[in-house]
Structure 1
Amino acid sequence: MIRATYHVETPCPIAEVAAMMAGEQSAGTFVRVEGETDDLRARFGATVVTTEEIGQSEVPTLRSAWAERKGLTGPRGIFRVVIDYPEDNVGVNLPTLASVVAGNLYDLGEVTGLKLMDVEVTPEYRARYDQPSMGIAGTRASVGVRDRPIFGTIIKPNIGLSAEEIAGLVGRLCEAGADFIKDDEIAGTHPHAPVDARIRAVMAEIRRYRDRTGKLVMMAFNITDETDAMRRHADLLAAEEGSCAMVSLNWAGMAAVQSLRRHSPLAIHGHRNGYGGMGRHPLLGMGVRAYQMLYRLAGIDHMHVHGMGGKFSDLDEDVTDAARHCLTPFLAGDDRVMPIFSSGQWAGTLPHTLAQVGSDDLMFLSGGGIMAHPGGPAAGLVSLRQAHEAVVAGVPLADHARSHRELAQAIATFGLKG
């Protein structure tokens, strides 16, 4: 079975609404039609597992013309609804799976709020879908980091630099000690820096650094595009000895990401920009666990989860839940993906992040925290490693900073809170 959990707001009896949801997404109707036998319903009909009231709303979250025509204007309940869908209704087809667990449910007239919170599958069913090429272990092996988080940064300014200027910046960041560098999500195939030119120029710098030091810095090139173009970009990146392709998941789409996974062994760095549009409202869209499960079935290796104490709207518990979901295996092998922390992150936000997640298996990206460090990018990266040393030693960050200049400079610049 494929299990989906929803939060549903409705003015109608929840048993009727849940049955309608199950019928809409399996048999296709809540009334018997010609050819719909008992055996067919038993095999292919979805099953309502539980319904539980979790709140009340005095006014509808979303307008429904259907409810207004019925005069259903009074208080409404908010419910947690769990439905099981037969695997045979989907087979192995990721877009169809998404259509089954979500699809037309958002449009039901009886519903004035609905959010898909979680999607769970059996290990056997999970194994039928694509898995990470590198995942956590492969990413660590590629960058040569095993006993701490992977520290990295983002190309700044986001756009405007030529391919050669970007390559020069990447070379300096390699020398500064970065494990990982990424394009911004708005970096595409610009006239001033086409993606193929960026790949060739930047990888030449990365190879030079590798040949001299033995360390291969992982660079996530943003190859987001239509599917055939992404395949071409991935082929060029692999030919240039690159290891990682970044994709804006929401705008490329699940099927395109899945096609890229099947085409290339590169690590797929999943950027979720735009997720706030489907995730921020408590009664509309898709929760992070459901969202991440669908893209994990597409075979991504890394997943952005935003950051704690940063510049975005996420609550710490939301970021923690997203990261822990990334670190949860869903089959007998290791299909975990590496959570990527970014947005306003610096040495001062690292201890709380590690405490909340309970693991070093993460990538910690600092833009300003590295690039704007008063001692320069190398000192910014050192400050991150010093912060991790303090965590391992169980020493408060401020105390550790007394004998570690780069960390002290970071605290003086960015301001330690709490």
Structure 2
Amino acid sequence: MERITAKYYIETPNELEKAAHVLAGEQSSGTFVKIPGETEELKQRFAARVENITLLESVKEPSIPSNKVVATSYHRANIEISWSIENFGYNLPLLLSTLQGNLYELSQFTGLKLMDIDLPPSYEEHFNGPRFGIAGSRKSMDVYDRPMIGTIIKPSIGMSPEETAVLVKKLAIAGVDFIKDDELQSSAANSKFEDRVDAIMKVINDQADKNGKKVMYAFNISDELDNMLRRYEYVLKAGGTCAMISVNSVGLTGVKKICDQGKLVIHGHRNGWGMLNRHPLLGIEFTAYQKLWRLAGVDQLHVNGIQNKFWESDDSVVRSIEACLKPLFRGETLLPVISSGQWGGQAFETYSRTKTTDLLYMAGGGIMAHPDGPAGGVMALQQAWEGAVNGLTLEEARHQYAEFSKSVQKFGVKA
């Protein structure tokens, strides 16, 4: 029988092997004492197995305080635990409950993070994965030789549908590839969802009729499931190509149900990510996280950005991009969405460290606050990426491209 293997980074004051077996027992057939009915045959078939333990270091202070643990040494290790697929089959919520359930409450651990998941071949037969991903996103936006350039509607909330449509028209004329709702905007008091879709899609469709390029707009449909399905259909009927979901808020089951409709590109926003990942010894690493959303069918997923405005390190962002681009099952890939305080200046370090243009490169102020307006902002981003791919330094690109030069002056990188 096939097995799923999860890799964890742990910290424990206990003997490592004992702590690992407690985790395996708690997350499968065992409990805190031996009970009638837990036969050797049952355990052989359904109990989780400890596959590997690698000691890393020992420290004197716990990463996470515990009122039940007092020790002089806390051991950190990488461990691998496997489960028979019989335990959860192809049930994503049950899989998540197994991999990330009560184990975080176990007093044997003062730190625990899910780092990666190895999935069995049969999952390919039961999960479609991203239906559009990188290739489908590029086809829809008609962009093939550079990163897709996107932006976010700001202010995040408060604009009327008509005001939003005016901004969308400016951006469409400027040549942007992608626009999205802010995660805080869905159906506000002064901007009913349907009214906003109508106003925005009229602009996008009119512009597409004029120049043949249809901007992808990610409408935030995050809500209760029935409402999301209605909004999905409304976007589709209006000629839209993309729906955005706040994946952590909606959850695996809701996201998968929307993805299973299969007609719109699904833009996954990971707001709340810091709650899951910011502590180095608690939560889930992006490598494992993105696999869960790929199983659900998400096509595009936020990964933060190089030299971003948040807490995440550049190394972490690079690992996240690499994880999205690594083929899964049929070879489908997930489009990494770069965002968070981005402008053209970060293109050089981003390309140097990832060597890919398979990105959706999002800039809000980096486009809208350009001295020449949105058109200059979009052009400056395209120039920055062209320069980066052609091996130019930021300073060399600054002297070669007029719009990018103005970005450098505006956004603070001085020669």
Q: TM-score, normalised by structure 1?
A: 0.96
SS at match of 1:165: helix
One-letter amino acid of the structure 2 residue matched with residue 286 of structure 1:
I
Partner of 1:259: 257
Aligned length: 413
> Sequence identity of aligned pairs in percent?
43
Unaligned runs of 5+ in 2: none
Deviations 1:186-239 (A, max 9, x none): 112101101111111101111001111111100001111111111110000000
* Amino acid across the alignment from 1:17: A
> Which residue in 2 is equivalent to 1:63?
65
Residue 139 of structure 1 is matched in structure 2 by: 137
Partner Cα separation in structure 1 for residue 66 and residue 169 of structure 2: 56
Please state how far the C-alpha of 1:264 moved relative to its aligned partner.
Answer: 4.3
Question: How many angstroms apart in 1 are the aligned matches of 2:235 and 2:272?
Answer: 26
Matches within 5 A, 1:15-414: 15-29=17-31, 31-67=33-69, 72-331=70-329, 333-414=330-411
Question: Structure 1: how far apart are the matches of 2:27 and 2:409?
Answer: 56
Q: Is the 8 A contact 1:153 1:180 kept in 2?
A: yes
CA distance in 2, matches of 1:206, 1:101: 43
Given that 2:30 and 2:47 are in contact with CA atoms closer than 8 Å, whether structure 1 keeps it comes out as: no
Q: In structure 2, give the amino acid aligned to 1:342.
A: S
SS in 2 for 1:60: coil
Structure 2 counterpart SS, 1:123: coil
With 32-41 and 372-381 compared, the bigger mean Cα shift is at 32-41
TM-aligned CA deviation for residue 31 of structure 1:
4.5
Report the CA distance between 1:276 and its aligned residue. Answer: 0.2
- Contact 2:335–2:359 at 8 Å: present in 1 too? yes
The residue that corresponds to 1:6 in the other structure is 8
Show CA shifts across 1:71-110 (max 9, x none): x332211111111111111111111010111100001111
Mapped partners of 1:158, 1:269: distance in 2 = 17
Deviation of 1:142 (Å): 0.3
The one-letter amino acid paired with 2:45 is R
How far 1:30 sits from its partner (Å)?
5.8
Question: Per-residue displacement from partner, 1:377-407 (whole Å, max 9, x unpaired)?
Answer: 1011111111122123212222222232101
- Asked whether the equivalents of residues 351 and 389 of structure 2 are also in contact (C-alpha less than 8 Å), the reply is no
Asked whether the equivalents of residues 379 and 406 of structure 1 are also in contact (C-alpha less than 8 Å), the reply is yes
Structure-1 separation of matches of 2:372 and 2:65: 54
- Could you tell me how far apart the structure 2 residues matched to 1:417 and 1:37 are? 70
**Partners in 2 of 1:388 and 1:83 — Cα distance?**
42
CA distance in 2, matches of 1:126, 1:6: 24
Instruction: Name segments (4+ residues, structure 1) moved above 6 Å.
Output: none
Alignment deviations for residues 14-37 of structure 1 (CA, whole Å, 9 cap, x no partner): 101101111111113265432223
1:42 is paired with a residue whose SS is helix
The answer to whether the 8 A contact 1:130-1:258 is kept is no
Report the Cα offset of residue 358 of structure 1. 1.9
RMSD: 1.4
Distance in structure 2 (CA, Å) of the matches to 1:189 and 1:166: 13
Write the letter of the residue equivalent to 1:232. Answer: R
Moved more, 395-404 or 130-139: 395-404
Higher mean displacement: 176-185 or 124-133: 124-133
Give the SS at the match of 2:19: helix
Partner letter of residue 71 of structure 2? T
Q: CA deviation at 1:353?
A: 0.8
Match of 2:279, SS? coil
**Secondary structure in 2 matching 1:242:** coil
Shift of 1:129: 1.9
Could you tell me which runs of 5 or more consecutive residues in structure 1 were left unpaired when the two chains were aligned: none
Residue pair 2:100, 2:114 contacting (<8 A) in 1 also: yes
Contact 1:66 1:110 in 2 (8 A): no
How far residue 40 of structure 1 moved from its aligned partner, in angstroms, is 2.1
Alpha-carbon distance between aligned partners in 2 of 1:125 and 1:34, rounded to the nearest angstrom: 34
| Separation of aligned partners in 2, 1:138 and 1:28 | 45
